[in-house]
Amino acid sequence: MLPNLKIWRSVVSDDRGPPSFGGQQLSNEIEDAVPVDEDPPARAGGRGLRFVQRNFSLLTMAGCAVGMGVGYGARAAGIGDEGVVLLGYVGELFVRSLKAPLSPMIFCSMIVCTNLHAHTASASAPKYAVACYALTTVLASTIGVVAFVVFRPGSHTHLSGAPSPELSLAAEGTTGPAPMLDSLLDLGRELVPDNMLKAMVEMKLLSVITAGVSVGVAIRHTAPLHPEATAPLLAMAKGVFEALLTLIGWLVLFAPLGVFSMVAACVATTPDLATVAAGLAACVLTSAAGMAFHVLGSLSLLLLLAAPAERPSPWRFLKGIAPAISMAFGTASSAATLSTTLKSVVAQGVRRPVAAFVLPLGATVNMDGSAIGITCSVLFLANASGQLATMNALQVANVGLVSALLSVGAAPVPSSGLITLILCMEATGVAITPLTAYVLAIDWLTDRMRTVVNVASDAFVCATVDRLILRAEKRAAPAPTDELRSARDADARAVSATRGGGAADLGTLAGAPVDAPPTPPLHSAPPAPPVAASALELGERRPPKS
């Protein structure tokens, strides 16, 4: 199902004034937002657009199936290399069109993300939320790399006639992976660009991300001093980002056609499809294992460490957010699940203002499922094509780093994994081969898996931040001082004096405990016992008869 970008834009756009992630206003906007199935205005071509949006996953699977049939027929007919090129030509154009707007979109996305206004009831909520989201993203990318190293999907086969590791090394003119020092120095050069525009033109995405974050932070710090100068820059960045996001949404509509072309070309040159299926199954299972460990291990441990005295049950919390998880799997959009996620975490005891701030921020910058899934997919493609043999340990870890950085700027909409996968392959130097068609063909499934992990991570981080804020508020509560004790004792004496009929409470004045019962005043007669009211008095109190 293709995205409706309304909710994503409501998170990052200032069309209706400065964005507010806290308070009742955003909570109502999230609950009232239409999830995914909102139809666009009626116009020329609108009916076909709505049909593709509503049946996007089905059309993608149909394109894969038809492509496999056409590829079988082309291989049986014995078409030559030119026929294979023609079969995959549309898929090649599809990938090129997706790569075209990515550099400026990532640049503007980093500017927008670093200038999100954080208005919330607690001053400590932003720093806790950002720290937790950064920690979970790093953990997710690390788990993705470790899961691949443990299971090694695609290590025993080389699909689609890919060269063997020995041939790949010979083509590179080396006898093994590049030295670690050279890889480390190259990584530093990528992180510090010498020309921002050149980095965008050459698709050096690490340089683009660094440049975007630097410019965004500079705008954020300059805005209080020169708001009239920085406001147009920020507005332009948001406008360019929205325009490119809309363009990519249109381009993704052609994914079924692109998948058909790429799968047909790949099947026509792949003699053993059982090897392809086994490799894809291993890749999906590796990603699933990493995602399960992240949710049940990393996120659960984070929640337990946030409130060790309460000993919250991660399993009970996971069952409480089951409605949000099921909706995330069905819609494949973390933004469309915001309303359900908000209701679920509030039902689990999270304070509403905290949830109204943390969840939209997580839908913007927290994509743990993408960090795991994209890492496994890119390393799987590199391994299956023989390119992994030319990569050292630092270059493998660099794949996890790039996927983590790219997941921060990924849009919380369906099929955004297609964009992130191509971005990560470009940034890490992994070649886009016909094997990529198979990974794109099963994106309808892996996208839902990633969305489930994204939503679960947002919910766990929301509960964690709420408990951290509670702990901070308890620590910040003022301890009783001598002045507070004196004021409390004075109040207690005034209360005791009032109870004693206006006379001074000598016991309290003499230093008796505040909680001691008031002593009766001296030289006062004991109170008379209550006397029952006479019948005459009762008769006088009755209302007169009409």
CATH of the domain at 88: 1.10.3860
Q: State pLDDT tens for residues 187-243.
A: 888 888 888 888 888 888 888 888 998 999 999 999 989 989 899 999 999 999 889
Of 116-120, 233-237, 283-287, 540-544, the poorest mean pLDDT is in 540-544
257's CB contacts (< 8 A; 6+ apart) are 63, 90, 94
Range of the domain at 118: 6-33+45-475
Total number of residues shown for the chain: 546
pLDDT of residue 32 exceeding 70: no
Percent of the chain with pLDDT over 70: 73
- Maximum Cα interatomic distance, the chain, rounded to a whole number of Å: 121
The answer to whether residue 171 is domain-embedded is yes
Q: What angle do CA 290, 293, 299 make, to 5 degrees?
A: 120
pLDDT recorded at residue 434? 76
Of 337, 332, 421, which Cα lies nearest the Cα of 1? 332
Handedness of CA 113, 114, 118, 124 (dihedral sign): positive
d(CA 365, CA 116) in angstroms, rounded, equals 11
Burial of 541 (0-12, 13-18, 19+ CB in 10 A): exposed
351-373 per-position pLDDT tens digit: 998 998 899 888 878 889 999 99
> Which tokens hold the place of 390?
């030319």
| Residue 395 Cα distances to 97, 145, 186, angstroms | 27, 11, 10
What's the pLDDT tens digit per position in 99-152? Answer: 888 889 889 988 988 887 655 555 678 889 989 999 999 999 999 999 999 999
Structure tokens at 143: 């788990």
Lowest-pLDDT range of 30-39, 60-69, 227-236: 30-39
- Residue 435 maps to a domain: yes
If one counts the domains in the chain, the total is: 1
Domain-located, residue 40? no
Q: What mean pLDDT do residues 445-458 have?
A: 93
Average of pLDDT values for 429-440? 84
Mean pLDDT, to the nearest integer, of 419-436? Answer: 85
266 alpha carbon, distance to own chain's centre: 33
Residue 4 has a pLDDT of 41
Residue 510 falls within a domain, yes or no? no
Q: Does residue 491 belong to any structural domain of this protein?
A: no
pLDDT attached to residue 515: 46
Is residue 489 a part of any domain in this protein?
no
The C-alpha atoms of residue 417 and residue 369 are separated, in whole angstroms, by 10
Q: Is 214 domain-assigned?
A: yes
Q: What would the two tokens of residue 326 be?
A: 């099921």
Domain contains 494: no
Query: How confident is residue 498, by pLDDT bands cut at 50, 70 and 90?
Result: low
